[in-house]
Every structure is written in structure tokens, then in C-alpha cells.
């Protein structure tokens, strides 16, 4: 069910629970700024989620309230994961849904990193 991009942070959301270690994940990468792990319902041969460690609901509050270090660390982590997975040369897609009309399902900022095959058009239909 889609969620709003703005509003109070929900410490019970699935990504907050993964960050706390309450739920397992198939980790790909972790540093002080971000955690990357395989999506449980992959849409491509490579489908990894990269989430910031802070309590950020969407790009809206992250871009408005995160420190320069948090933003830089998170963006660098996304790039590092793409390099680590060997996706730079063949190419990859980043997707971040924000809000109900975009289909955001978890109220914690996250980027989907897709690769491993030709991905087709940006938007279907």
C-alpha cells in the first residue's frame, strides 16, 4: 500500500527494523551512512536496495534536513554498491519512489538499484 512522502517517521517500518537488526537481510554493503541489501522480490537479475542509516522518510525530508555529510555519504554508498556489483560498464538504473502517486511502499528513503540485463523503457504504459 503506497505511503505519503512526508510526515512523521515510523520507527516500526521494515527498513528501520532491518537497521536495528530486528529483521534479517541479505546484506551487500554497509558503512556509517548506508546499508545495501538484496530486494526480497527482485525485478531484475540484480535488484538491491540502498537505504540511509538515518530516520529519513523520503527524498523530501532527506534533502531538506540531512547534513551535507549524510547526503554525501549516502550518494557515495549508492555509487560504491553499483561499482562493487560490476554494473558501471554494462549500466544500471536507480529508482526512488516518493509518495503515493509514485508507489512508495516503505516510509523510509530507499533507492532501488537494478541491473544485470537490458532494462527497457523508463516507464511502462
- For 28, counting Cβ atoms within 10 Å of its Cβ (0-12 exposed, 13-18 middle, 19+ buried), the class is middle
Cell of 3: 505511503
108 among known catalytic residues? no
φ/ψ (deg, to 5) at 30: -150, 140
Q: What angle do CA 72, 75, 77 make, to 5 degrees?
A: 105
Q: Is the CA virtual torsion 99, 72, 74, 93 positive or negative?
A: positive
Active-site choice (38, 47, 80, 110): 110
Active site residues: 110
Amino acid at each position: 500500500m503506497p505511503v505519503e512522502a512526508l510526515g512523521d517517521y515510523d520507527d516500526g517500518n521494515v527498513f528501520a527494523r532491518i537497521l536495528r537488526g530486528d529483521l534479517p537481510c541479505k546484506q551487500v554493503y554497509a558503512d556509517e551512512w548506508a546499508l545495501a541489501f538484496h530486494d526480497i522480490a527482485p525485478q531484475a537479475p540484480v535488484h538491491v536496495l540502498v537505504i540511509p542509516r538515518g530516520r529519513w522518510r523520503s527524498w523530501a525530508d532527506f534533502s531538506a534536513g540531512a547534513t551535507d555529510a549524510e547526503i554525501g555519504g549516502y550518494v557515495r554508498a549508492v555509487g560504491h554498491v553499483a561499482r562493487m556489483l560490476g554494473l558501471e560498464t554494462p549500466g544500471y538504473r536507480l529508482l526512488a519512489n516518493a509518495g503515493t502517486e509514485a508507489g512508495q511502499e516503505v516510509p523510509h528513503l530507499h533507492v532501488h538499484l537494478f541491473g544485470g540485463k537490458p532494462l527497457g523503457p523508463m516507464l511502462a504504459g
